[in-house]
Amino acid sequence: MHDPRALLDAETDAVRRLARRGYTLDVSALEDLLSRRNKTIQSVDEMRAESNQVAKQVPQVARAGGDATELKDRARQLKEEIRDREEEQERLNAELRELLLSVPNLPLDKAPDGDSDEFAVEVRRHGTPPAFPFEPKDHVSLGEAMGILDFGRATKLSGPRFSVARGAGAALERALATLFLDLHTRQHGYTEYSVPTLVTRETMTGTGQLPKFEEDLFKTRTGDRDLYLVPTAEVPLTNLHAGEIIDPAKLPLAFTAQTPCYRSEAGSYGRDTRGLIRLHQFAKVEMVRLCQPEDSQVQLAAMVEHAEACLAALDLAYRVVLLPAGDMGFSAQLTYDLEVWLPGQSRYREISSVSDCGTFQGRRANIRTRDADGKRRFVATLNGSGLPIGRTLAAVLEQHQRQDGSVVLPETLAHHTGFRVIQPDGTPQE
C-alpha cells in the first residue's frame, strides 16, 4: 500500500511508472478522498476543542449562579456532531484504504517496457539444452509410462489440475525439497521455518494477495472465521514480523520454507492443463529476505544466484530474464525470472520468479526498522521460488531422459534419493 501523499507529491512520476505496468492512477479520486478525509479530521479536532471548552464553562457558569442550559445543549449537540463526523471519517478512511490497496507497486525504471513475456530481456544462459538422438517425451508421457505419476487418479480424487506421485516419483519430490532446503540453509544462509498454510485476511493483505486477487485464492470458513490457503510461503514468511520494529543490526533476515501452495488459477483455463506446470496444489520451497531499502538490489542479485544454484545442482539448462514492467507481480518493483528448458515443449518455461518489492509489502504489513539516524522506516522485502517441486521434477525427467524411457538422475539428487536411475517401469536403481 502506498502513502497517498507520496503518490500525489510525485504525481507525474507515479502516474508514468504505473502506466508502464498498465495501471491508470485515478489522481482526481485520490485527491478528492484525501481532501475530504483531511477536512473531516480537522473538523472533528475543532469540534472536540470546542467541546472541551464548553465542558469547562458549564461548571464555571453554575458556580457563578448563572444559567448553563444553552451550554449544556451545545455540549449535547457537539457530542452528536462529533459522532457523525467520526463515522464519516471512518467511512472515508475505508474508501481511501480500499483505493490505495488496489494500486500496484511502482516499477523501477530498470524494468523494460512491455506487458508480456515477449518483452522480457534475456540476461544470461546456463548450460546447453540437451540434444537427443530421438524424439524426447514430455514429463507426462514419461511419468505415466513409468508409473511414477498418475494424473487420472488425481482427477478422480480432486478433479482436474491435481497430481499423484508414486514410488520413485514421490521419493523424487521429497528429495528435491530436501536438496533445495539443504542448499539454502547450509550454503546460502537462510533460516528454515515450518509455517501455517492457513492464514488470515490481514496476512494475505500484507503481501498484496488481497483484496485484488481474491478470486485466485482458496478459502475455508469455520463458523464465522475465514482462513485462506496460501498460494506461496512468501505470505506467512513475510508476515512473520508484521507489526514489528526489527533491530537494524539483525538485517538482512533470510527465511526459507517448504509448503504446499494452493491457487485457483482463475482466468487461466485452457492453459497448461497437461501435467505439472499449472496445478491447483503443488509443493514449493520459498525464499524471503527482509532488509534496509537501499540494500534491496544487492539482496535481489543474491537471491537470483541462490535460485540458480538449485538448477545448476541438477544439471539443468536454464536462462535468466528481466521481466518487463507490465508483466511483473502486483507487489514487485523489479523481477527476474528463471526459465528452465523443457524438451517436451522445445522451449524455456518459467520455474522461478525472484522479486524485489521495495517497501511496498513492508508498509502494508507495517514491518519497520530504523535508519542510521535511528528514525523509523519500512523494511524492503524480497521473495523468490527456490524452487517449485513439480516444475523442477518435470524438468529433471525431461532433460535427463534416455531413449529407452528411463531417467538418469544427477549425482547431487541421487545422494538424496538413494538411487541414480529410474527404470522404464518405474523401478529405482542405484
Answer yes or no: 63 catalytic.
no
- pLDDT band for position 270 (50/70/90)? low
53 or 266: which carries more pLDDT confidence? 53
Residue 9 lies in a domain: no
Query: What does the pLDDT look like over 379-424, one tens digit per residue?
Result: 999 999 999 999 999 999 999 999 999 999 999 999 999 999 999 9
According to the annotation, is 352 in a ligand binding site?
A: yes
In this prediction, residues 74-84 reach a mean pLDDT of 93
Residue 21 lies in a domain: no
What is the amino acid identity at position 425?
A: D
According to the annotation, is 383 in a ligand binding site?
A: yes
* pLDDT for 279 beyond 90: yes
Q: CA quadruple 416, 177, 338, 405: dihedral positive or negative?
A: positive
Of 141, 391, 398, 406, the catalytic one is: 391
- pLDDT above 70: percentage of residues in the chain: 99
* pLDDT for 267 beyond 70: no
Domain that includes residue 68, residue range: 26-102
In this prediction, residues 47-63 reach a mean pLDDT of 91
Q: How far apart, in whole angstroms, are the C-alpha atoms of residue 172 and residue 393? A: 7
* pLDDT for 269 beyond 60: no
What is the amino acid identity at position 146?
A: M
All 3 cell numbers of residue 289? 529476505
Q: How far apart, in whole angstroms, are the C-alpha atoms of residue 324 and residue 122? A: 11
Of 37, 161, 263, 289, the catalytic one is: 263
According to the annotation, is 302 in a ligand binding site?
A: no
Answer yes or no: 166 catalytic.
no
Q: Examine the domain organization and report whether 383 and 278 are in the same domain.
A: yes
Using CB atoms within 10 Å of the CB of residue 73, give its burial: 0 to 12 exposed, 13 to 18 middle, 19+ buried: exposed
Residue 159 lies in a domain: yes
According to the annotation, is 86 in a ligand binding site?
A: no
Residue 111 lies in a domain: no
Answer yes or no: 278 catalytic.
yes
According to the annotation, is 31 in a ligand binding site?
A: no
Query: What does the pLDDT look like over 310-341, one tens digit per residue?
Result: 999 999 999 999 999 999 999 999 999 999 99
CA-nearest of 13, 5, 65, 60 to 30 is 5
According to the annotation, is 158 in a ligand binding site?
A: no
All 3 cell numbers of residue 245? 520494529
According to the annotation, is 351 in a ligand binding site?
A: yes
Of 350, 370, 377, 420, the catalytic one is: 350
Answer yes or no: 263 catalytic.
yes
**Which element (helix H / strand E) includes 337?**
strand 334-342
Please count the residues of the chain.
430
* pLDDT for 146 beyond 80: yes
* pLDDT for 150 beyond 60: yes
Answer yes or no: 91 catalytic.
no
All 3 cell numbers of residue 277? 506446470
Q: Examine the domain organization and report whether 215 and 74 are in the same domain.
A: no
Using CB atoms within 10 Å of the CB of residue 362, give its burial: 0 to 12 exposed, 13 to 18 middle, 19+ buried: buried
Q: What is the pTM of this model?
A: 0.93
Residue 20 lies in a domain: no
Of 353, 355, 363, 398, the catalytic one is: 353
**Domain with 404 in it: what CATH number?**
3.30.930.10
Among 45, 78, 102, give the residue marking a domain's end.
102
**Which element (helix H / strand E) includes 363?**
helix 360-365
**Domain with 69 in it: what CATH number?**
1.10.287.40
Q: Examine the domain organization and report whether 313 and 167 are in the same domain.
A: yes
- Total domain count, the chain: 2
Among 50, 70, 102, give the residue marking a domain's end.
102
Of 36, 166, 174, 278, the catalytic one is: 278
